[in-house]
Amino acid sequence: MLIENMIMAFHAIKANKMRSFLTMLGIIIGIGSVISIVSIGDTMRGLFSDLYKDVGITQAYISIGYWLDDIRQSDYFTLDDLERIKEVFGDEIAYIDADSATSSDVQAGRIKMKFNFSGIDYNYIDVQPVDIIYGRYLNKGDILGRRKNVVIKVESAEQLFGTENAVGKTFRTTIYGYTDEYTVVGVYKKEMNAFQALMMGGRSDTGSAYIPYTILTWPNDLNYYCHLFAAEGTDMNDFMSRLLTYIAKLKGRNASDYYTQTAVEQMGSVDGVMGALSSAVGGIAAISLLVGGIGIMNIMLVSVTERTREIGIRKALGAKTRDVLIQFLTESAILSASGGIIGVALAVSLVTVGGMALGLPVIIKPMVILLAVSFSAVVGIFFGIYPASKAAKADPIDALRYE
Amino acid sequence: MFGRNKLSPYVTENLSEDLIRLENLVKIYDTGAIKVLGLKKINLTIQRGEFVAIMGHSGSGKSTLMNILGCLDRPTLGHYYLDGIDTASLSSNELSAVRNLKIGFVFQSFNLISRTSALKNVELPMTYARISKRKRSERAMELLECVGLGKRAYHMPNELSGGQRQRVAIARALANEPPLILADEPTGNLDTAASIEIMEIFSELHKAGATVVVVTHEENIAAFTHRIIRFSDGQIVSDERNPNPTPGSGDVHTKGLYKNRATGAQRGQSKELEQAKDAGKGDNVC
pLDDT one-digit tens code per residue, A212-256: 998 888 777 888 888 989 888 888 888 998 998 999 888 888 888
Would you mind telling me the total number of residues written for chain B in this entry? 286
A317 contacts B100? CB cut-off 8 A: yes
**pLDDT(B271) > 70:** no
**pLDDT(A377) > 90:** no
A20 to each of A9, A27, A335, A375, B117, how far by Cα in Å?
11, 11, 7, 19, 22
A315 contacts B96? CB cut-off 8 A: yes
The CA distance from A395 to the nearest CA of chain B, in Å, is 8
What is the CB neighbour count within 10 angstroms for residue A254? 11
A15 touches chain B (CB under 8 A): yes
Residues of B in contact with A330 (CB under 8 A): none
Cα separation, B78 vs B35, whole angstroms: 17
| Minimum-distance CB partner of B97 among A1, A318, A396 | A318
| For testing contact with chain B, the best of A317, A397, A401 (most B CBs within 10 A) | A317
- Residue B154 phi/psi, 5° resolution? -100, 10
B114 contacts A317? CB cut-off 8 A: no
Q: Are A98 and A227 in contact (CB under 8 A)?
A: yes
Residue of A nearest to B129 (CA): A318
Residues of B in contact with A397 (CB under 8 A): 67, 72-73
Is A295 buried (19+), middle (13-18) or exposed (0-12) by CB count in 10 A?
Answer: buried
Stretch A300-315: mean pLDDT, rounded?
A: 93
Query: In this predicted complex, what is the ipTM?
Result: 0.85
b/e code A213-238 from CB counts within 10 Å (16+ = b): bbbbbeeeeebbbbbbbbeeebebee
pLDDT at position A193, please? 62
Q: What percent of chain A has pLDDT over 90?
A: 33
A323 residue type, one letter:
D
| Minimum-distance CB partner of A397 among B72, B127, B130 | B72
A313 contacts B125? CB cut-off 8 A: no
The CA distance from B183 to the nearest CA of chain A, in Å, is 13
pLDDT at position A134, please? 92
Instruction: Provide the mean pLDDT of chain A.
Output: 87
Least confident of A6-10, B65-69, B141-145, B264-268: B264-268
A317 contacts B128? CB cut-off 8 A: yes
**Fold topology of B50-74+100-283:** Rossmann fold (3.40.50)
Stretch A69-90: mean pLDDT, rounded?
A: 87
According to DSSP, residue A362 is labeled: -
Residue of A nearest to B94 (CA): A320
Q: How many helices (H) and strands (E) does chain A have?
A: 14, 11
pLDDT at position A204, please? 67
Strands (E), chain B: 18-30, 35-47, 51-55, 77-82, 85-86, 103-106, 180-184, 211-216, 227-232, 235-241
Q: What is the pLDDT of residues B2-17, one digit of tens each?
A: 333 333 444 444 556 7
**pLDDT(A390) > 80:** yes
Element (H, E) at A103: strand A101-108
**pLDDT(A207) > 60:** yes
**pLDDT(A41) > 90:** no
Cα distance between the two ends of chain B? 33
| Minimum-distance CB partner of A317 among B92, B116, B124 | B124
Cα separation, B183 vs B225, whole angstroms: 12
Interhelix angle A321-358/A366-392, nearest 10 degrees: 150
Map out the domains of chain A as residue ranges: 2-51+270-401, 61-268
Cα distance between the two ends of chain A? 29
Cα separation, B270 vs A96, whole angstroms: 84
Nearest to A54 by CA among A186, A166, A187, A193: A193
Element (H, E) at A135: strand A131-135
A313 contacts B116? CB cut-off 8 A: no
